[in-house]
Amino acid sequence: MDFGDLVLLFVGAALINNFILSRFLGICAFLGVSNRLSTALGMGAAVVFVMTISGTLSWAIQNYILEPFNLPFLQNLIFILVIATLVQFLEMVIRRYSPALYEAFGIYLPLITTNCAILGVALLVAGSDYGLLETVVFAIGSGIGWTLAIVLMAGLREELEFADVPPSLQGSALSLLIAAIMSLTFIGFSGVVPAL
């Protein structure tokens, strides 16, 4: 796979098959922490970080444990277990060696442990024939796409605080409408690259 293919893979993961707006994964966090731009950015950074590492780890588990022993049905179970362990472990290490980063991630790191987008990357990687490098690119692209969607959402919601919204649409109703319209626009990316 050459460099061009990797770029395509990245764009495909970030925009065309955007995790929130095309695959509808990680919606809970998308709606829950998109009230402020700064918190959305913090959450996004944590997702990119965890997604990359857990995606890579899942790739290793799939290729070195599940496939040799013919145990594909263990995917969900083992990925959840390993990702949860990994995030806990990383939290301890970061807290010990980089208090600044720990403060920046704050509550978001443990929050996304069981985020479905994280598990989604693991399962998609396991179901594909990606190599290590492709897995990393795919995971980073997915994370950045997720961040892009939540940051856009947070920006919109910050502006909406000043709008006069009818009572029946206030809160989650309007958020879901906005998410739907954003999703429609992102569907426009599909077909840009015929192979993806």
Partner 1 sequence: MLSSIMAATLSMGVVAILSALLLVWASRRFAVQEDPRVELLANLLPQANCGACGFSGCSGFARAAVEGKAPADGCKAGGPAVAARVAELLGVSVPSVKRQVAHVFCNGTHALAKRTGEYRGLADCRAAELVSGGGKACTYGCLGLGTCVAACPFGALTLGSEGLPIVDKEKCTGCGLCVQVCPRGIIKLVDYDQRTFVNCVSPAPGKLVRQVCQGGCIACNICERTCEYDAIHVIDNLAVVNAELCTACGKCAAKCPTHVIEWQVQEGREPAAAAAAS
Sequence letter at residue 106: G
Q: Could you say which residues in the range 84-103 bind partner 1, by CB under 8 A? A: 85, 88-89, 92-93, 95-97
Which segment (37-45, 81-89, 152-160, 180-188) binds partner 1 by CB under 8 A? 81-89
Q: Which of 53, 80, 82, 156 binds partner 1 (CB under 8 A)?
A: 82
Query: In whole angstroms, how close is the CB of 30 to partner 1 at the nearest point?
Result: 24
Q: Could you say which residues in the range 43-62 bind partner 1, by CB under 8 A? A: 61
Query: In whole angstroms, how close is the CB of 96 to partner 1 at the nearest point?
Result: 4
CB atoms within 10 A of CB 19: 32
**Contact status: 64 vs partner 1 (CB under 8 A):** no
**Contact status: 168 vs partner 1 (CB under 8 A):** no
Nearer to partner 1, 22 or 63 (CB): 63
**Contact status: 191 vs partner 1 (CB under 8 A):** no
Query: In whole angstroms, how close is the CB of 110 to partner 1 at the nearest point?
Result: 13
Nearer to partner 1, 27 or 125 (CB): 125
Structure tokens at 123: 């399962």
Cα dihedral 36→42→48→50 (10° resolution): -120
- Vertex 149, ends 25 and 112: CA angle to 5°? 50
With CA atoms as reference, report the closest residue to 193 among 15, 1, 3, 2. Answer: 15
CB-CB contact of 37 with 168 (8 Å): no
Q: What is the DSSP string of 117-165?
A: HHHHHHHHHHHS---HHHHHHHHHHHHHHHHHHHHHHHHHHHHHTTS--
Q: Which of 28, 77, 101, 133 binds partner 1 (CB under 8 A)?
A: 77
With CA atoms as reference, report the closest residue to 125 among 55, 71, 67, 75. Answer: 55
Query: In whole angstroms, how close is the CB of 78 to partner 1 at the nearest point?
Result: 6
- Where does this chain bind partner 1 (CB under 8 A)? 61, 65, 69-71, 73-74, 77-78, 81-82, 85, 88-89, 92-93, 95-97, 164
